Amino acid sequence: MHKDLYLRSVFFKPLNMKENKNLPLILNAVLAIGLAILYILHFTQKGGGAAAVSSNVANAKLSKDGVKFPIVYVNSDSLLLNYEFYKKTKKDLDGKQANLEGDLTSRAKQLENEIQNFQKNANSMTVQNAKNTEQQLMQKQQDLVQYREIVGRQYLDEERRMNDKLLDNIAKYMKKYGRENGHIFVLGYSRGGGILYADSTLDVTAQVLKGLNDEYKANPEVIKEEKKEDKKEEVKK
């Protein structure tokens, strides 16, 4: 008999997706830099050079005192927190994360119970039965680790796709908004970001947010389409 027979249980580590709390900060930085680049490219690629920029400045909307503002900004933090697409996506991802962690915790607990039961009964088993059971439990442990890695990658892939879609939505709308309102730059402002000061008269967050949410409300199926693509990817894997 294997008197000292012992099989270590799985020390389950939940998927640490909560680390993405810094996502808004990352997106804010990308927004501030990305939008500036978009506008530089937009006006230089037209071939008009300085003339195109000057023309756009001339078309810029006026402030209350009649001063033209070719450069405006949005509060990136407020934009994300109040953008319906972002809120819906975050809610869906948080729910999926909670389900995954619950599922993995349950699987790990079940395996741990099997291991403990085996340890209690090992002395009453034949050497061969004990050996077979030990091998089965080790295989289950390996399967659980592999399963955790697979679902973790799938979640992160989905999160990445949603982040890309979020950035695409914002960038496309900002390009449209800038053209329609005669702005050369639409910058992203956030506390602790690269812009240290911005006059509130240049803040167009409310207008941009309304436009983004109106577009989303007019086409809410975009998330459902993303989910369908996610399921296709999971099937392939």
Residue 99's pLDDT band, with cuts at 50, 70 and 90, is: very high
Question: What pLDDT score does 68 carry?
Answer: 56
Describe the chain by its helix, strand, coil percentages, rounded to 5.
Answer: 75, 5, 20
Report pTM.
0.65
CA-to-CA separations, 115 to 12, 13, 20, 136, in angstroms, rounded: 14, 18, 34, 10
Average pLDDT of the chain to the nearest whole number: 76
* pLDDT more than 70, % of the chain: 64
Give CA angle at 216 (32, 91), nearest 5°.
80
- Cβ-count burial of 126 within 10 angstroms (0-12 exposed, 13-18 middle, 19+ buried)? exposed
Interval 74-93 mean pLDDT: 93
Number of other CB atoms surrounding residue 145 within 10 Å: 14
pLDDT band at 70 (very low <50, low <70, confident <90, very high): confident
The alpha carbon of residue 117 and the mean position of all alpha carbons in its chain are separated, in whole angstroms, by: 41
> 107: exposed, middle or buried (C-beta count within 10 Å: 0-12, 13-18, 19+)?
middle
Q: Where along the chain do its domains lie?
A: 23-236
